[in-house]
Structure 1
Amino acid sequence: MASSTLPAFALFPIAAWRDQLLPDEWVACLNAWLALINSHLSLSDSEILTISAKDSTLQAFLASFTRETALGGVDILGSSPSAKRLLKNCLALITRLLQSSSPPNELAQWEFLADLSRVYGKKKAEALLGSLSAASKGYLDSSLAVLKKFLIRNLDAGINGGDLKGIEERLERVNDLIRVSPSVAEFFLAGSDFVDGLVSCYKITNPPLRKVLIATTYLGLVGLAEGQKVSALTDQLYSLKAAADAHKAGPLNVNDSLVAELVTSTPLIQRVQRKVEESDSTSSRMKSVLVELSAFKKPGGGVSKPKRLIRRKVDKGKGLAELDEAQAQQEIHIHRMSQISQVQDLFPELGSGFISKLLDEYDNNTEEAVAHLLDASLPPHLQSANRSEDLSHHAPTTVTTTKTTLVRRSSLNPRPTPPQLASDTEDFDLLTADVSRLHIGKRPGDADTLLADRTKAPNKAAILSALAAFDSDDDERDDTYDADDVGGTVDTATAEEVLPEGTEAALFRAWTANPDVFARDNETRRGKERTRLREETGMTDEALEGWAVMLGRNAALKRRLQARYGEFTGEQAELGRTSWRAGADEGEEGDGEGSDGAAGTGSGQAGRGGGPGRGRGRGRGGRGRGRGGAATGPPVDSELARRRKEANKGSRANHNRRDQRARKMARGGLLVETGNH
């Protein structure tokens, strides 16, 4: 409830509500809050305990004020004098409440203090956290204990039931508190459970979560170094080294570990060495573990300072070429963009204009700029600057040379160059070209003069712009069969969103079994079949009904789905064997068309009798109705021998030649001995 002597506070509005307020209305709101804050500040210490500490609307306003300001930055308050005084007086009132013997519980939680640390920076927040009363410290330790227990449990679980989104949100928020308070860093790194959880959770391929894990580990270790906890810091560094060795011995990539990324993308080793040397407590054990951790740095990675640009000299025997100032200016822009991208890899929320100012402040030293960002130890003019400022709004600076002064462009975006060739052609077509541009034969001047003239040289910025606008997927289109070349109807309509694998099959089978499942009425939508179909496909009722409507309208789609997912039992037409088999045609041999004629394979008449036909030569016997004539063909045993020979050719050698000769001689009337020789 609000106090009986002071008016109640209104909550600090969210961004959607703030955008609807006019500037005058916003200033009036700031003045009203400022007046109420000043009224509470004017109370005595005893009245603070009885009035301010028990005013729930005051606590809700302070919580919403710090939260929204932490999310949007101090620029959301505006540039009016009331905004600056409100920011200052809110900190003064929060300090009095947290230093009292009976502080509000809501203001002593880690969430509120983390938002306060982001809004007011390291210097002011560290002073406030160092002056908390015993009751406030008790509330803070209790909330941190609950947070640490939640983080350890979910970090160990990982993808097997762990709340990865909750881990990322809480770690990103508590990192502001760890950065300003060495005692909070010491609390989280007490024991090995928290660090082991960070190392194990880093195995999950989730880039945003990995960045938060790296930042938490770095801030915790630097906090131990700032708090002069050398023994605890050494133990944690040794545990990280052991984890890196275990990862290196495993099947995964040696560079895909938390330790390798930590020592590569952050200045951890340099910061720890500097902090330990300042405390005069350097030990051989600390030095050795730092050297061993340096061995895990990725080759060619990190935020190291880019190499100095060296102008290549063209040795043509005519002396040094003069410096092209415009080209040198473009080189400066290119490498400034490279430095900005390195910083944005670690701080994606920062604008390119703010990072450019930061690099100007620290002499283009990317590593030093990142270290000051992590420590929140920026100069006042950068601390209050707009962190989301784009480079196009950055004030132009000047680059002086020995001959002239060049003005740096306000934007790194390359400007398009006019098509010179097109205008030249047009001038010549219209007969309006200058006579000085005409020449007979070769152009005047030698090759060196033409190459030294940079007035018509292509702009490097235009080349970079063309490369940036180039779509590497354009060359993947196969234009072999364009609509104009095919000669038939080509469906050029844009394809609908591709359904997940298996969804289309489930939809078509359900439609084939019962099209009424896709009816557009409430009874069908509440039915069991529709519920099962929604769970199986993951689609809404509107999407299911729309799919059925489109299927009914598109006959080609229906045929395609029928061919793909229709009923098919796998049956095929049975094909007979065409290869020859022994004994397959025994019943056919000698089968004549008549019943009286006998089969004959020798030469001579077959089926002689009273019939009308006779047969001669090899083949089947003729037809006859009278007395059938006897066929003069080879005996049956020779036919069987022939078949036996053909059947046994593939399995063994033909060793019965002697027997065959004996049979042949016997048929001729000769007596041949067939015994064994």
Structure 2
Amino acid sequence: MNPKVLQLPPMVSFPDKDWCHSISNEEWEAYLNSWIFLAEAHLSNSDFQKISTKDSSVKNFIVSYVTQTALLDELFFSKFSEKLGLLRKICFCICYKLLELKTPPQELTSWDFLADASKVFGRMNGKKLVRLITEENHSCYETTLTQLKTLLIEELNTGIRGNLVKLESNLKRSNYLHSVSPEVAQFLMAGSDYADALISCYKIMNPPLRRVILSNMYFCLIGLTRGETPMISALLDQLYLLKEAAEAHLTGPLNANDSLVSELVTATPILRNIKQRIKEKGSGLKRAESILSSLEKFRKSGRNPISQSFTKNKKIIKPQNIMPDDQSIVNDQVDFDQIVLISQIQDLFPDLESDVIAKLLVEYDNNVEVITSHLLENSIPSNPEQLNAIETRIDSQELASSQNATMNYSSYQRSTRRNIYDGDDLDQLAVDSSRLHYGRRNDPRTTEMLLNNRASAPSKATIFNTLAAFNSDDDERDDTYDISDVGGLVESADLGDNLEGSLTRASSSKISPSSTDEILFRAYKANAQLFQRDAATRRGEPRKKLKQQVALTDQVIEGWAIMLPRNPQLLRQLEAGYDKPSNIERIVKEPAWKVKEDCQSLEHRPQNENELNLNSSEAQVRGSRNRSDVSGAPGEKRTDKARRGKEVDKGSRANHNRRDQRAKKMARGGFPG
């Protein structure tokens, strides 16, 4: 057969992540063998450009393999590590050959494929692929970076209204692209739109998304210092932008320490690494020191909070060769600190195994910043001999520490029991299990039998005697001397002349609420919407003014409004104390006719007695205290009636009949009165 016309069968695409775990091991063996055979055939073919490049199944397999393998966990690779490793090498070679073409496939130049390839093939091989694209098709690489920046800014600005899971996945993939190409950071950080989008999206309370945003911001800033021509000026501009964002966050309503800048300064060695890199470049150091010192002020005090999700199922290296009695004592002291340190590093490098981090902690004396710097610089030794030497040194240190721990705790003795049963058979666990039982031994009675047994039940006579001795009023409160129930003298003159003062005294006798309650109640009656719990109301100017007046937080103000309708007594008291007009208008109509001393003419007098009674009763109803003239001419019917009515109601208020009583007493004694 002519090799020039050799036609290879098409390659089946790599299955999706969800299907990988449902395929049996025998089927996987067959799939891997066929893929390896066909990939080697394409790779070894001398007419690769004529045959393999025109076969769309090869391109589709490479894309599906890189995309799906980046999503699989390490447990899957452990089953077929040898064959999958061989397939990965062959796929990298095919991918490299496809990118060498003058017009490489568009799917292989996209940013998501390059990011996944950097994760699957490794950082060094990812750099080779990206370098090949930038050298042969730089315009194509700029196009894919433009698409990446547009997509990330759009998703970041959408925020909580968008798909946060997809945003987190895209940011993680872009982080792998940052590690292989410094041009990504230089392209993304051109201008302030991308940094502003990261800062704005960090306000969303989503811990996994926040960690990815934090690492992405770190890679962007560090990427400006990498490459053949570091962009120090652009880096300092971005640092000034971060400073302004942090200062604006301090004046806002959110927590001062809950910002991207404070977390970036606290959880990462960004400031130290930038200062060191600028010092190596030898330019812009003075300008950088001022901005770095100002950013240092936003560092949080204390240890950075660690998410509990990273403290689960972590493999921790513990001292070996320790006696069983002393093992738990040493473990309690070792576990917690090492878990915290491992979690700090895995916040930035979630794909790094915990046992590797534990060995690095021992190697670098538990210095998290040094380990993070080495990981970012890719200066961790990758030679197996060097790793074995580190592991051997760690094992020797652990053995020595375990021996010291055994010596230190050899004198430790557990506390002894201090009761009368110390040393008995149950204490020594020498009791036969047949002697142990729950409740009474060999008791034939059941629950139903105990309930039906009325021997110990109280008799009806006892129950009736108890009810007869019970006083239903014993639980009532004695209100004999309550002010609100005790009758008192109320001067009618005070009610008529000073109604506002009477209402104020009556309300003050019931409650004495604070000025805070008064301000809140008046605001509640004026506008109940001011106490809503939404974000727009909290940011509004009326709420800010109310907070300044009462010096309370939003939660306390909203809780006061929620509890007010649930407390009717407090509501009535506040309404009696404050829910009244500022000025009570009292319209007191004067009587139609009023007697004057200097007027004796008949035209100024009432025409009859009915008119006088009508006018007088109307004046009294209106609250007026005007009465007929008692100093009129004697003998007149009107004057006599006024004198008799003068002392009608005096007895109800005080003892105003002392004169008549004395006259009666003197008359009974026979003395002249």
TM-score scaled by structure 1?
Answer: 0.54
Say yes or no: does 1:32 pair with 2:31: no
Q: Is the 8 A contact 1:238 1:289 kept in 2?
A: yes
In 1, distance between residues paired with 2:272 and 2:232? Answer: 15
Q: Is the 8 A contact 1:98 1:136 kept in 2?
A: no
Count of aligned pairs: 424
Aligned Cα root-mean-square deviation (Å): 4.5
Q: Which residue of the partner structure matches residue 76 of structure 2?
A: 76
Kindly report which structure 2 residues correspond to 1:436-475, keeping only aligned pairs within 5 A, or say none: none
Instruction: Give a deviation string over 1:402-438, Cα, whole Å, max 9, x none.
Output: 995889xxxxxxxxx9999999543777989xxxxxx
Q: Which residue of the partner structure matches residue 296 of structure 1?
A: 298
In 2, distance between residues paired with 1:61 and 1:352? Answer: 33
Kindly report which structure 2 residues correspond to 1:94-493, keeping only aligned pairs within 5 A, or say none: 94-132=95-133, 136-159=137-160, 161-227=161-227, 228-302=230-304, 331-347=333-349, 350-374=352-376, 378-380=380-382, 399-401=398-400, 404=403, 425-426=424-425
Distance 1:233 1:428, change over 3 A: closer
Q: Which residue of the partner structure matches residue 56 of structure 1?
A: 56
Give the letter for the 1:214 counterpart.
L
In 2, distance between residues paired with 1:72 and 1:243? Answer: 38
Distance 1:73 1:101, change over 3 A: farther
- Deviating above 6 A after TM superposition, structure 1's stretches of 4 or more consecutive aligned residues are 395-398, 417-423, 427-432, 636-643, 658-668
Q: Which residue of the partner structure matches residue 563 of structure 1?
A: none
Q: Is the 8 A contact 1:54 1:104 kept in 2?
A: no
Instruction: Give a deviation string over 1:583-642, Cα, whole Å, max 9, x none.
Output: xxxxxxxxxxxxxxxxxxxxxxxxxxxxxxxxxxxxxxxxxxxxxxxxxxxxx9999888
TM-score scaled by structure 2?
Answer: 0.54
Q: Is the 8 A contact 1:244 1:260 kept in 2?
A: yes
Offset at residue 170 of structure 1 (A): 1.4
Offset at residue 211 of structure 1 (A): 1.1
In 1, distance between residues paired with 2:28 and 2:215? Answer: 36
Distance 1:345 1:665, change over 3 A: same
Give the letter for the 1:206 counterpart.
N
Kindly report which structure 2 residues correspond to 1:431-580, keeping only aligned pairs within 5 A, or say none: none
Q: Which residue of the partner structure matches residue 15 of structure 2?
A: 13
Q: Is the 8 A contact 1:255 1:261 kept in 2?
A: yes
Q: Is the 8 A contact 1:102 1:135 kept in 2?
A: no
Distance 1:657 1:299, change over 3 A: same
Give the letter for the 1:644 counterpart.
D
Q: Is the 8 A contact 1:122 1:180 kept in 2?
A: yes
Q: Is the 8 A contact 1:12 1:64 kept in 2?
A: yes
Instruction: Give a deviation string over 1:15-68, Cα, whole Å, max 9, x none.
Output: 443334454543442232122222222345xx4444333332222211221122
In 2, distance between residues paired with 1:335 and 1:357? Answer: 14
Q: Which residue of the partner structure matches residue 447 of structure 1?
A: none
Q: 1:86 aligns to what SS in structure 2? A: helix
Offset at residue 88 of structure 1 (A): 1.5
Q: Is the 8 A contact 2:13 2:60 kept in 1?
A: yes
Say yes or no: does 1:41 pair with 2:43: yes
Offset at residue 198 of structure 1 (A): 1.0
Q: Is the 8 A contact 1:73 1:119 kept in 2?
A: no
Q: Is the 8 A contact 1:121 1:376 kept in 2?
A: no
Distance 1:101 1:430, change over 3 A: closer
Offset at residue 363 of structure 1 (A): 4.2
* Structure having the larger proportion of residues in helix: 2
Instruction: Give a deviation string over 1:482-520, Cα, whole Å, max 9, x none.
Output: xxxxx9xxxxxxxxxxxxxxxxxxxxxxxxxxxxxxxxx
Q: 2:133 aligns to what SS in structure 1? A: coil
Distance 1:373 1:119, change over 3 A: farther
In 1, distance between residues paired with 2:430 and 2:191? Answer: 86
Q: Is the 8 A contact 2:279 2:285 kept in 1?
A: no
Q: Is the 8 A contact 2:117 2:126 kept in 1?
A: yes
Distance 1:109 1:660, change over 3 A: farther
Offset at residue 80 of structure 1 (A): 4.9
Distance 1:428 1:644, change over 3 A: closer
In 2, distance between residues paired with 1:357 and 1:423? Answer: 46
In 2, distance between residues paired with 1:250 and 1:23? Answer: 57
Q: 2:398 aligns to what SS in structure 1? A: strand
Distance 1:74 1:52, change over 3 A: farther
Instruction: Give a deviation string over 1:516-547, Cα, whole Å, max 9, x none.
Output: xxxxxxxxxxxxxxxxxxxxxxxxxxxxxxxx
In 2, distance between residues paired with 1:75 and 1:87? Answer: 16
Instruction: Give a deviation string over 1:622-670, Cα, whole Å, max 9, x none.
Output: xxxxxxxxxxxxxx999988862356x3xxxx696588679979999x9
In 1, distance between residues paired with 2:13 and 2:141? Answer: 24
Instruction: Give a deviation string over 1:232-255, Cα, whole Å, max 9, x none.
Output: 111111111111122223333221
Q: Which residue of the partner structure matches residue 645 of structure 1?
A: 650
Q: 1:61 aligns to what SS in structure 2? A: helix
In 2, distance between residues paired with 1:135 and 1:12? Answer: 28
- Comparing 370-379 with 282-291, which one deviates more in the overlay? 370-379
Offset at residue 293 of structure 1 (A): 1.2
Give the letter for the 2:129 counterpart.
L
Distance 1:164 1:80, change over 3 A: closer
Distance 1:658 1:54, change over 3 A: farther
Q: Is the 8 A contact 2:185 2:223 kept in 1?
A: yes
Distance 1:252 1:334, change over 3 A: closer
Consecutive unaligned residues of structure 2, counting only runs of 5 or more, are 307-325, 388-393, 407-413, 432-456, 458-567, 569-640
In 2, distance between residues paired with 1:243 and 1:403? Answer: 49
Q: 1:426 aligns to what SS in structure 2? A: coil
